[in-house]
Structure 1
Amino acid sequence: MTDTRHHDPATRTQTIGLAQGVALYVCALLGAGVLVLPGQAASLAGPASLVAWAFSALLGVPLAYTFARLASNHPDAGGVATFTTRAFGGTAGGVTGWWYFIAGSVGQTVVPLTAGYYVTTAFGVSQDWAPGIAAALLALATAANLAGVRMGAAVRIGLAVGVAAILATVIVVALPQVRLSELTPVAPHGFSGIGRAVIVLFFAFAGWEAVAHLSGEFRDVKRTLPRATALTIVIVGILYLGVAFAVVATGVYGTRELDRVSLGVILERGIGVSAVWAVAVAAVVICLGTTNAFIASVSRLGFALGRDGWAPRFLTHLDRRHSPGRAIVGVAAVGAAGLLGAALFGWGTEDIVFLPSVLVLATYLFGAAAAVRLFGGRDRVIAAVTVVLLLVTVPFAGWHVLIPVSVAVAVVCLKGFGHRRGRA
């Protein structure tokens, strides 16, 4: 659970208006993962993956509204951990914090690997080299964080604009390549394929809760935040659905290697080989920036978990720059372990992404359930609808549903063990 005693919203300057709010939301949602997920979702569900994208986008409407209302009514830097703590107590907050910490840390395997795939494609070498390239990017981002070099809001927004530009370009370039015959058979893997695609896409749509941490800095938060949320849903929905259609209607998917670089192949076919190099360079910049930002934010969460007794105390150590150096290394170590597995056992993003996706699903489920407990009237009804829609997706997670359950059990047991040691 994040301690927010030193983050009183009243002490912060309320400077975020509508335009900046939309920019921050788009920045939170348009990440490097979307460079690989359209192809992977298409392989899971075929043309019906468009249904998965549409469902995920529509789920964002009540989900975003619920988190916007939570942030408006309880503006606090603690975000989802604060909401779940207020609704269900400190244990729920601690478990939710760990879910997000692990999801964010494992994401630092998925994101650098994405860049590795595009770089190896540009050089014309085997994607087996991708983990090595990813490790170099992860090491660079970790070193930057340890040195205190972090991105400002303008840079993060610039990276989001870069992702949006790539997606928009893919949509336009794909139009002459569209073949309606690629839209049949509609659902070659049945309803279960659509459901599995929805689970994967939680990684693409993770971010609705992120701006809740900045809710106290919005001008007229009760009006500005819901409007920013609505505009973001429209922008992100159009881009995601457009690029998903481009991948499906051009047939650029179906193998692990092709799924990982679908967007680059579409651009290569439409523009030429130079486009592959341009996308590879953009992917490196975007993935490096995303990794740098997530290591910074997730390590702070690790510091807070240690400080509040939900993680080992050594994560609370601050270096001379007042950065949680050990927590930074801890996040990087989780990402590096995933890359080692990718190198030794051939794990790809399509294998790894289920882990952070199902943890994000669990985080959203607890957050929406907290809203049902905290709200009344129409807001409670919308939160309840959000919970139901999230629960509909849970069975499609398969055995992966055991991941958040196992994490919760481990956190509670370790917390109890720590209490017993303290008393001894």
Structure 2
Amino acid sequence: MAQLKQEITLISGIGQLSTTLLGTGLFMIPAIAAGIAGQLSLLAWLLLFIAICPIALTFAALGKRYPNAGGTAYFVRQAFNERLETSVAWLFVSVIPVGVPAAVALAGGFAQQLLPAPFNTSLMAQFFTVALLVLVNLMGSKSSGRLQTVIALSIFTLVGSFIWKADIGTQDITFPAITSESVWAVGAALGVMFWCFVGIEAFAHMGEEFKNPQRDFPIAIIAGCFVAGAVYWACSVVILKLGAYGSPEFDATSIPWITQQLFGDGLKVVISILGFLACFASLNLYTQSLSRMIWAQARQHRPDSHMAKLSRQGVPYVATFAIGFVVLVSCSFGEMSGLDLEFFLKLANGIFVLVYLLAMLAAYQLLTGASKYIAAVSLVLCVLVFVCLGWSMLYAVSIFTLLSLPWQKWLKKTKPQTNIE
């Protein structure tokens, strides 16, 4: 049976997760959160870090005990049954036509500024991003991990230079007094900030490719979350000090504006490149995880199919090309239909939170001791977030319900029975 190559190290694992969690969020979420809660957004970040710890610890415990390319679907199978595993797997795959194209559009916005005419159109920039995603994925997880580590170091350097140039002091990290009105503002900011830590579930699919999954996988999750959280918090401090928030324009351009204020116009191209790479890093891990999910299902149910084949680099290349094709079609549809980008993101968020919820439910069933209690806390947190999603959770619930119906059993009943005499 074909096996993925074990070539992810601890450092590259931390680099992959941290850049995935930062991704597009770094260029939008700190400014949006600051606009909602002001200086208290710093407190909201700390509360979010505390809340995300049990979820990260639970994924770390699951990945350590069950390193498998199937990720959450595999955890669900171990806890419950094979049919539910298949439903979870295809639930995760269902994010391809709604979530991935939305992220590609965000990355394409940065790429558009770098491409020459006539290739600097929105659709061409998205096609370029998808083609680059497929190419990097085909190179294997080792090369991909190195690239994302370089991207992570570049992001850390940028935010570090902000802290140095903005002359941040202790007075810039103090919290104002909390009132009854500010509590609601902090809660609203938390609802926005949660999406900065959507990505841990995708990283769970990479556990099988770690050189030492039992030791390095849980450390990579905890360290990756800590690094990403520290970068978000530091970036928020700079945004608050310089006042780069409070308007729709700042929601998407706070980082370029801060760079211009601190360093002048000379770094415009650098910011465009870094913005594209940050978005690309997040997309890259999701493309990897989705291809491995499809491959893991094929390996289990149809081991002789093309989807179950690996390239010489140990990459599920057929699944990677299939994802690239679906994303290209979805990007074309989204561009021609003019559907709102935020609409797609909300649908994708519903799927991600439901996947988190199901992973925590499996963890509560599988884990023992302190890990079981941590999983219980994580499950409650995920349920609360899922309820807060409102109408956008209906897409995830509808897809999961349809996938969970006994279609194979019904199809067998509808087939004509032949009697052999």
- Is TM (by shorter chain) over 0.5? yes
Report the counterpart of residue 323 of structure 1 in structure 2.
Answer: 318
Per-residue CA distance 1:110-167 (angstroms, 9 max, x = gap): 43343455578999xxxxxxxx854323212333466685462211222232333333
Q: Which moved more, 1:208-217 or 1:237-246?
A: 208-217
Q: Determine the C-alpha separation between the residues in 2 that align with 1:354 and 1:196.
A: 16
- CA shift, 1:419, in A, is 4.5
CA contact (8 A) 2:107 2:276 kept: yes
Moved more, 276-285 or 361-370: 276-285
Query: Structure 1 stretch 80-89 or stretch 226-235: which is displaced more?
Result: 226-235
Q: Is 2:264 the counterpart of 1:276?
A: no
Moved more, 83-92 or 198-207: 198-207
Give the Cα separation in 2 of the matches to 1:194 and 1:214. 34
Which one of the candidate residues 73, 87, 91 is aligned to 2:79? 87
Does 2:46 correspond to 1:58?
no
Pairwise CA distance, 1:87 = 1.2
| Amino acid aligned to 2:325 | V
Instruction: Return the offset for 1:68.
Output: 1.1
Counterpart selection for 2:123 from 122, 125, 135:
135
Cα 1:259/1:28, change in 2 over 3 Å: closer
Report the CA distance shift for 1:282/1:81 in structure 2 as closer, same or farther (over 3 A). Answer: same
Indicate the residue corresponding to 1:390 in structure 2.
382
**Residue 386 of structure 1, CA deviation:** 1.3
Q: Quick check: 400-409 or 24-33, which moved more?
A: 24-33
CA contact (8 A) 1:116 1:133 kept: no
Task: Tell me the SS of whatever aligns to 1:209.
Answer: helix
Distance in 2, Cα, partners of 1:187 & 1:256:
26
Aligned to 2:418: none
Corresponding position: 1:365 with 2:322: no
Could you say which residue in structure 2 is the equivalent of 1:409?
Answer: 401
Aligned to 1:126: none
Deviations, residues 254-304 of structure 1 (Å, cap 9, x unaligned): 232320111111111111122333201222344345445544542453565
Choose from 227, 232, 241 the match for 2:233: 241
Equivalent pair of 2:16/2:281 in contact (CA under 8 Å)? no
Give 1 or 2 for the bigger CA radius of gyration. Answer: 2
Aligned AA (1:29)? L
Structure 1 residues without counterparts, runs of 5 or longer: 124-131
Residues in 2 aligned to 1:121 and 1:188: alpha-carbon distance in whole angstroms: 44
Please report how far the alpha carbon of residue 66 of structure 1 lies from its aligned counterpart in structure 2 after TM superposition. Answer: 0.9
How far apart, CA to CA, are the structure 2 residues paired with 1:28 and 1:353? 16
SS in 1 for 2:197: coil
Kindly indicate whether the alpha-carbon contact (under 8 Å) linking 1:49 and 1:194 is maintained by their aligned counterparts in 2: yes
SS in 2 for 1:237: helix
CA distance in 2, matches of 1:86, 1:133: 47
Contact 1:46/1:186 (<8 A) preserved: no
Amino acid at match of 1:361: V
Q: Secondary structure at the match of 2:249?
A: helix
Aligned-pair RMSD on alpha carbons? 4.0
Matched, 1:257 2:249: yes
Take 2:275 and 2:284, find their aligned partners in 1: how far apart are those partners? 14
Which residues in structure 2 correspond to 1:108-257 (within 5 Å)? 108-115=100-107, 117=109, 133-144=121-132, 150=139, 152=143, 153-175=145-167, 191=183, 193-218=185-210, 221-257=213-249
Contact 1:115–1:284 (Cα < 8 Å) also in 2: yes
Note the alpha carbon deviations across 1:189-235, whole angstroms, 9 max, x for none.
Answer: 85555444434334321232344334345455444434334433332
Provide the C-alpha distance between the structure 1 equivalents of 2:208 and 2:311, rounded to a whole number of angstroms.
Answer: 29
Partner of 1:376: helix, strand, or coil? coil
Letter of the 1:421 counterpart? L
Percent of pairs identical after alignment?
23
In the superposition, the TM-score normalised over structure 1's length comes to 0.77
Measure the CA separation in 2 of the matches of 1:91 and 1:202: 30
Deviations 1:350-374 (A, max 9, x none): 5543332332222111111111101
Structure 2 residue aligned with 1:74, among 56, 60, 66? Answer: 66
Q: How many residues align?
A: 399
> Are residues 1:378 and 2:378 paired?
no
CA distance 1:383–1:296, change in 2 (3 Å): closer
- Name the SS for the 1:76 alignment partner: coil
Q: Which residue identity is paired with 2:411?
A: R
Q: Which amino acid aligns with 2:250?
A: L
**Cα separation, 1, equivalents of 2:217 and 2:109:** 37
Q: Which residue in the other structure is 1:129 paired with?
A: none
Question: Are the structure 2 counterparts of residues 58 and 372 from structure 1 closer, same or farther at C-alpha, using a change threshold of 3 Å?
Answer: same
